[in-house]
Structures are given as structure tokens and as C-alpha cells.
Amino acid sequence: QVQLVESGGGLVQAGNSLRLSCAASKRILARPAMGWFRQARGEAREFVARLSWIDNSTVYADSVKGRFTISRNIAKNMLYLQMNNLKPEDTAEYYCAIQLVRDRFSIATHEYGYWGQGTQVTVSS
């Protein structure tokens, strides 16, 4: 079973950048996509970005569009999230995950799995 480990979080001031990394213990095969999600304290986990394993297309939540970029390094089994122009409302625990449903597009949290332990991002104003 694949394991995912997130890293790269930290405390930054608004307007600054962070790059999150997600290391997979082995190559992701036969899955349509991977995604980044986040969960602020006291709130539900929400979708942030998705990268298709099939055609490399990307999808972003409206709240991060134009500021965040999801990418991958296939050879290194890595997924990344470049976060620019960070805002205090981006403060959350960030998680990477693998889309479990194989036959359709999904950004639903419950249709993703193999969650890592998360990495905390805190943006001060």
C-alpha cells in the first residue's frame, strides 16, 4: 500500500510563498489523479487542487486559482503545491491524497484516500 508524506509547511507573512511537497512511497499506478486538500481548524476538509494522471490537466478551487500551482515529478514519485501570494485565509493543515474512483473526474474529499499526516501552513497578516 502506498504511503504519502507531506512537507514544506510553515509560518509565513501574507503575500509570501511556500512550496508543499508530497512524497509517495512508490509509483502511483492505475489511478486517475492526485489532489491537495486543506482543513482549517473547526472546519471541514476542502478541495484545493487536482492533477490528472491521465492528461496532466489541472483544476483549482476558486479561492486559490491564479495563486497556487499543482505539479508532479513522476521519476521521484513527488507531488507539489506552489503557493504564492498567500493570505491569512489559506491557514490550514494541507494534505495530499489519491483519487480512488477510477471512472470519472472527482474533487470530492470522500472519493480520495491514502491521506498523509498533513503539513501545517500558517499565514499571518
Residue pLDDT, tens place only, 44-60: 999 999 999 999 999 99
User: Is 76:5 a contact under the CB 8 Å cutoff?
Assistant: no
Q: How far apart are CA 112 and CA 125, in angstroms?
A: 32
Short-list 124, 114, 123, CA closest to 6 = 114
Three-state DSSP class for residue 18: strand
pLDDT in tens, 88-107: 999 999 999 999 998 899 99
In one letter, which amino acid is 85?
N
User: Is 49:58 a contact under the CB 8 Å cutoff?
Assistant: yes
- DSSP letter, residue 110: G
**% of the chain exceeding 70 in pLDDT:** 100
